[in-house]
């Protein structure tokens, strides 16, 4: 299956496996901002790391930029405003876009915030409708709300091909508007469940068999709200 792997997981490794499937890179921004209130690496260092992963692991489909989440807890952590987080997110994408397979990310909190973020990219000369994928951040912890459904529908109607960060329960409401999504829900569930029959570990939180089963069930044939072409990163 395609994997969504965090830069935080890879950055301390001395060697890397070769990929047997396409994968995407998470910048680890949520943990970075939550724990430290800032990015501790420079865009140059991050771009160098992405190039290294692409060369040594191979099959890297895309990478998230060094974006700035807009949840209230993140604003409290940084002491900055939503607008400042959005401006830093857009500025980082502009700096990184020619240095690797980076995708732009929309950040915000209310629907009008995301519309403003689209405008920031447009003002910088970036037509998001022409790009193969646009990430939508700061939705994970409220993904099943009517507001996020309205947001995804609106962005899709505008002509954007969307990736939903941390989307699982929201699939039932707006999965039809997504090109791809990622989720660690399988691992959280496995931590609280007995191991699969035949598994000898304490739980299946890092078990590929559990992840594959979870993914197959989530993408099983169901009503039309699932995009049949969706790529789900585990």
Tell which wins on pLDDT, 227 or 168.
Answer: 168
So where are the chain's domains?
Answer: 1-101, 139-234
Give tens-digit pLDDT for 3-47: 999 999 999 999 999 999 999 999 999 999 999 999 999 999 999
Nearest of 101, 168, 90 to residue 132 by alpha carbon: 101
Question: Per-residue confidence at 168, pLDDT binned at 50, 70, 90?
Answer: confident
194: CB partners within 8 A, 6+ apart = 203
> Per mean pLDDT, which range of 17-26, 134-143, 224-233 is the poorest?
224-233
Query: Whole-angstrom Cα distance, residue 39 to residue 131?
Result: 26
pLDDT score at 208: 92
95-101 contact pairs (CB < 8 A, 24+)? 95/43, 96/43, 96/46, 96/47, 96/65, 96/66, 99/47, 99/50, 99/51, 100/47, 100/50, 100/51, 100/54, 100/63, 101/50, 101/54, 101/60, 101/61, 101/62, 101/63
Helix (H) or strand (E) run with residue 163 in it: strand 162-164
Give tens-digit pLDDT for 81-137: 999 999 999 999 999 999 999 999 999 999 999 999 999 999 999 999 999 999 999
């Amino acid at each position: 299956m395609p994997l969504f792997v965090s830069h935080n997981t890879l950055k301390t490794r001395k060697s890397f496996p070769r990929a047997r499937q396409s994968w995407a890179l998470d910048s680890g921004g949520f943990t970075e901002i939550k724990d430290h209130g800032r990015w501790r690496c420079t865009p140059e260092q991050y771009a160098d790391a992405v190039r290294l992963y692409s060369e040594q692991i191979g099959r890297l489909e895309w990478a998230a930029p060094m974006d700035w989440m807009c949840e209230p807890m993140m604003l409290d952590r940084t002491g900055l405003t939503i607008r400042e987080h959005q401006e830093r997110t857009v500025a980082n994408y502009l700096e990184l876009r020619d240095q690797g397979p980076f995708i732009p990310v929309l950040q915000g909190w209310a629907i009008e915030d995301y519309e403003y973020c689209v405008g920031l990219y447009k003002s910088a000369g970036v037509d998001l409708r022409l790009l193969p994928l646009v990430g939508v951040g700061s939705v994970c912890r409220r993904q099943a709300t009517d507001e996020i459904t309205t947001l995804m529908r609106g962005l899709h109607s505008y002509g954007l091909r969307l990736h939903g960060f941390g989307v699982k329960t929201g699939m039932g409401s707006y999965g039809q508007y997504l090109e791809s999504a990622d989720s660690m829900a399988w691992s959280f569930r496995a931590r609280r469940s007995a191991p699969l029959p035949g598994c000898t570990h304490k739980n299946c939180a890092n078990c590929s068999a559990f992840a594959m089963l979870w993914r197959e069930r989530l993408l099983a044939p169901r009503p039309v709200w699932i995009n049949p072409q969706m790529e789900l990163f585990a």
